[in-house]
Copies of this chain bind each other. A is one copy, B any other.
Amino acid sequence: MLFDLDGTLIDSVYQHVLGWHEALLDFGVDLPVWRIHRRIGMSGGLFVAALARETTLEIDESAAVVLGAGHAAAFERLRDSIRPLPGAERLLGVLTAMGVPWAIATSGNRRSAEPALDLLGVPDAVLVTRDEVRHAKPDPDLFLAAAARLGADPGQCLVVGDSVWDLLAARRAGSLGIGLLSGGYGQEELERAGAYRVYEDPADLLDHLDEVGLRPAR
């Protein structure tokens, strides 16, 4: 089972969204917050490319670095309010106890992902981050790398994510995608992006593990 991180295991999407909004305003770009929300979870490079297209702004590499630093600073001020999503720790514990291999694959970088592992109580989890692959979501690279780290066939993996980009990447990896509402997307958006099932949050997924075909390893 391959997990996205923000909005899937930890409740950090809205803080990231307002962090990007503040960084963009400081940069002179007034992009409505909901549009940023719909882009969260995709690769930073694609995010900036989409942004340039939607705002007809020229954003070169050094501007992207300034934006990234602005987001990191604004996000830091909101970090105290971040909690694990309901059932996240319990779900990971049950999978471990069942002998189901799992990993976390995030479009974020390692420095920002590691505090989240501590928050989830799994500092030694298998973690694949943006800096380890060529392309982030909706490209499949992150999930393919995570499957390889587990020695698993991607076609036998379940990908769990809260965003359209997770589900598109899951399809390109040949995995079944499971959507969670806990990142703030609507159920139909996730279904239309190819979710096999949609649950509210990790606790709700845990209550329905039988629906996704998970059984204890023998």
Interface 1/0 per residue, A64-76 and B, CB below 8 Å: 0000000000000
Whether A21 pairs with B81 at a CB distance below 8 angstroms is yes
CB distance from A169 to the nearest CB of B (A): 20
The reply to whether the CB of A32 lies closer than 8 angstroms to some CB of chain B is yes
A35 to B22, CA, bound (A): 23
The reply to whether the CB of A14 lies closer than 8 angstroms to some CB of chain B is yes
Contact of A184 among B15, B33, B86, B187 (CB under 8 A): B33
Q: Which A81-136 residues sit within 8 Å CB-CB of chain B?
A: 81, 83, 85-86
Whether B78 pairs with A34 at a CB distance below 8 angstroms is no
**Size bin of chain A's contact surface:** 20 to 34
Count this chain's copies in the assembly: 2
The reply to whether the CB of A201 lies closer than 8 angstroms to some CB of chain B is yes
CB contacts (< 8 Å) of A83 on chain B: these are 25, 30, 32
Whether B15 pairs with A18 at a CB distance below 8 angstroms is yes
Whether A186 pairs with B183 at a CB distance below 8 angstroms is no
CB contacts (< 8 Å) of A25 on chain B: these are 81, 83
The reply to whether the CB of A207 lies closer than 8 angstroms to some CB of chain B is no
Whether A22 pairs with B81 at a CB distance below 8 angstroms is yes
CB contacts (< 8 Å) of A42 on chain B: these are none
A201 to B54, CA, bound (A): 14
Q: Which A1-57 residues sit within 8 Å CB-CB of chain B?
A: 11, 13-15, 17-18, 21-22, 25, 30, 32-34, 37
Can you show 25 pairs from A to B with CB atoms below 8 A apart?
Answer: A11-B32, A11-B33, A11-B34, A13-B33, A14-B14, A14-B17, A14-B18, A14-B21, A14-B33, A14-B37, A15-B18, A18-B78, A30-B83, A32-B83, A32-B85, A32-B86, A34-B184, A37-B184, A184-B184, A185-B186, A186-B186, A186-B187, A187-B188, A187-B189, A188-B188
Q: A residues within 8 Å of B by Cβ?
A: 11, 13-15, 17-18, 21-22, 25, 30, 32-34, 37, 78, 81, 83, 85-86, 181-189, 201
